[in-house]
């Protein structure tokens, strides 16, 4: 999901950075003091999950956990994912600093959008409906993020069209894996700490 330095056009980078600044503003505004431990743990989860790669044909991909982060943190998913990407860029040169804004938007925005749609359903009384919502909350952000990454590449030049398709297709197995992981996490949290699935939507 990381787009490296020197690939994207300046307008795409600027647009991604501007959108992320808006997301960071809303995210930081929504964070309360009691949310800081959750934010720190989830940023560490994001950071660690992205380091575990799975080989798929000639390429490789990794878990992102953005859907679960959005589900628990709401708009605060923006600063959580931003911090994880910043550390990955500084420590391991994953992505880069100039692409940090766009990479953050591509991962955080779908997570927030999907969580706002399904947040009430994952905490409803119907366990089956909650499990389905948990699966969709985990899988849809990855699908949308893969599309946004491909779109970002395509908008930067027609020469990246083949790469854009490769990025999108290589992430399809992760869509299923992320859905299952998020579904099981939702089932667990509903039993042990259901209040964590009721973040503030504004």
**pLDDT score of 112 more than 80:** yes
CATH topology (fold) of 10-197:
Arp2/3 complex 21 kDa subunit ARPC3 (1.10.1760)
**pLDDT score of 130 more than 80:** yes
Q: Positive or negative CA dihedral for 121, 122, 123, 128?
A: positive
**pLDDT score of 62 more than 80:** no
| Greater pLDDT, 158 or 56 | 158
User: CA-to-CA distance for 54 and 29, rounded, in angstroms?
Assistant: 36
Domain extents in the chain: 10-197
pLDDT for position 34 = 87
Helices (H), the chain: 10-30, 36-49, 66-73, 77-92, 100-122, 127-155, 161-170, 172-192
**pLDDT score of 68 more than 80:** yes
User: CA-to-CA distance for 106 and 148, rounded, in angstroms?
Assistant: 6
The conformation of residue 51, written as its DSSP 8-state character, comes to: T
Q: Global pTM?
A: 0.88
């Amino acid at each position: 999901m990381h787009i490296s330095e020197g690939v994207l056009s300046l307008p795409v980078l600027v647009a991604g950075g501007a959108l992320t600044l808006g997301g960071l503003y809303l995210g930081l505004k929504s964070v309360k003091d009691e949310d800081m431990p959750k934010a720190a743990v989830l940023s560490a989860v994001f950071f660690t999950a992205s380091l575990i790669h799975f080989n798929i044909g000639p390429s490789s991909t990794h878990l992102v956990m953005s859907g679960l982060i959005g589900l628990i943190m709401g708009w605060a998913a923006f600063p959580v994912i931003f911090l994880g990407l910043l550390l990955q860029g500084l420590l391991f040169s994953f992505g880069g600093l100039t692409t940090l804004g766009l990479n953050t938007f591509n991962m955080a925005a779908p997570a927030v959008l999907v969580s706002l749609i399904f947040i009430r359903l994952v905490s409803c009384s119907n366990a089956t409906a909650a499990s389905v919502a948990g699966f969709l909350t985990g899988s849809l952000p990855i699908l949308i993020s893969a599309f946004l990454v491909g779109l970002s590449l395509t908008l930067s030049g027609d020469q990246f069209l083949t790469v854009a398709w490769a990025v999108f297709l290589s992430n399809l197995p992760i869509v299923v894996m992320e859905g299952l992981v998020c579904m099981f996490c939702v089932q667990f949290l509903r039993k042990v700490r259901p209040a964590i699935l009721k973040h503030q939507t504004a």
